Amino acid sequence: MTPVATLELRPGKERSLQRRHPWIYAGAVARVIGRPAPGDLVRVVGADQRFLAWAAFSPESTIRARAWSFLEHEIPDDAWLSARVAASVARRAHLTRRTDAIRLVFGEADSLPGLIVDRYADQLVVQLMAAGVDARREAIVDALVTATGASRVYERSDAASRQREGLPSREGALRGAVPVAAVDIIEDGVRYQVDVVRGHKTGFYIDQRDNRRRLAQLAAGKRVLNCFCYTGGFSLAALSAGAAAAWSIDSSAEALAVAKTQQALNSIDSPAHWIQGDVFDALKRFAADGQRFDLIVLDPPKFAPSVQHLDRATRAYKQLSLAALRLLEPDGRLLTFSCSGAVSVDLFQKVVAGAVIDARVDAQMLERLAAGEDHPVSMTHPEGEYLKGLLLARL
Ligand code: SAH
């Protein structure tokens, strides 16, 4: 593949690429030499014409190009792409001992900007969120099939990020048939059913795997409350590990229906209460009724899609943690999460500390929680970190 154009940066704007940050903002570009099409490979040079990176061109986005390689001799042709996909898949190979739901490629963190690939048993789900990976879709799918042996690949390219790239939203089968039924997966011995066509994200919150296991380790004989349960991942992990009973709340009737099916699939007999409704209201009701729990999970949706929403989001995170702390038995445990990238680990800890103070309880932080290792964070692209949580003990 020969690059069709050169992107020349303005003086002083080469620093972030030299520090291996993969994003080139429109404001850093002095001129484009040639006529690259969306997604085309471009050679990025500094004002002094020195090579900086090979990147994929995104004419519509404020992130005007995303760097794929910082080495001049490493031209990202199809063979390079295939090797990079294979390496990303190989890095996760050991996880197959625990699960067949694995994020195989996590965008910038795997040096494949804009590409998300999740595996559910024999089914792959691909999200092509940037012009560069969209233009190379055929080569990417070939590489994935070769690296995994999977026979089905379904595309679920997230609408919002594609819009920023000037790309239409796209869904459909790229290999094999469109999945008509949910895909069965097993994680740490628990069976789940993943609807890759209609489910959230690519169908399942793969990123919470280690935290489901952490909860399971604490669950034996306990009364568990799982807020924002979606299809009940945390609840099923806890019940399978011997929780005495679980109360799970979500506003989505469809998600709760899947949760109930999964409960049957795992032959769980302990009491499982699936409650459709608003978590904020339910927490008030539990408080009024004098209900108490040993273990509470708070895993709400992304309250802060961007920094503009930080104020409202931090208030909501605080309100939830405060209400949960008041419902915890002494020596109970709280797992509280935020998946908002705009809320830093430090800020989240401060917000939860505020809730502890207002709840007038003593609490210890036992652990910081994060997404599993198949959702790594690039050391040179810390913006990729999004899921954070705290495991607290109420004294
Ligand atoms: N904890 C889940 C993922 C949560 S996603 C898991 O591990 O699988 C967020 C969920 O919150 C969604 O299922 C959504 O339906 C639900 N939700 C959003 N706002 C809500 C509210 N105010 N009350 C109850 N559920 C809500």
Q: Where are the domains of the chain?
A: 5-69, 78-175, 205-394
Do residues 189 and 183 make contact, with C-beta atoms less than 8 angstroms apart? Answer: no
pLDDT at 2: 61
Pocket test for ligand 1, best of 208, 209, 230 (most atoms within 8 A of CB): 230
Catalytic residue among 339, 343, 370, 391: 339
Q: What is the mean pLDDT of residues 78-94?
A: 98
Assess whether pLDDT exceeds 90 at residue 222: yes
pLDDT at 281: 98
Domains 5-69 and 205-394 equal at CATH topology level: no
Residue indicated by tokens 């590990």:
241
Residue indicated by tokens 């997604």:
39
Residue 318 CA to ligand 1 center (angstroms) comes to 17
For residue 204, the ligand 1 atom closest to its alpha carbon is 8
pLDDT at 159: 80
| Cα–Cα distance measured from residue 133 to residue 216, given in angstroms and rounded to the nearest whole number | 38
Nearest CA to ligand 1 atom 21: 278
Residue 147 CA to ligand 1 center (angstroms) comes to 34
Is 227 noted as a catalytic residue in this protein?
no
For residue 255, the ligand 1 atom closest to its alpha carbon is 13
HSE value, Cβ hemisphere, 13 Å, CA-based, for 380: 15
Nearest CA to ligand 1 atom 23: 278
Confidence of residue 388 (pLDDT cuts 50, 70, 90): very high
Do residues 385 and 341 make contact, with C-beta atoms less than 8 angstroms apart? Answer: yes
Q: What is the mean pLDDT of residues 239-243?
A: 98
Residue 46 CA to ligand 1 center (angstroms) comes to 46
End-to-end CA distance of the chain: 62
364 token code pair: 């210890």
Assess whether pLDDT exceeds 70 at residue 265: yes
Domain at 78-175, CATH from 3.30.750.80, 3.30.1490.100, 3.40.640.10, 3.20.20.80: 3.30.750.80
Average pLDDT of the residues of the chain: 97
Q: In a 10 Å sphere around its CB, with 0-12 CB exposed, 13-18 middle and 19+ buried, how is residue 299 labelled? A: buried
Assess whether pLDDT exceeds 80 at residue 333: yes
Do residues 95 and 102 make contact, with C-beta atoms less than 8 angstroms apart? Answer: yes
Residues with CB under 6 A from ligand 1: 205, 208, 228-231, 233-234, 249-252, 255, 278-280, 299, 301
- Architecture of the 5-69 domain: Roll (2.30)
**At 33, phi and psi to the nearest 5?**
-100, 115
Class of domain 205-394: alpha beta
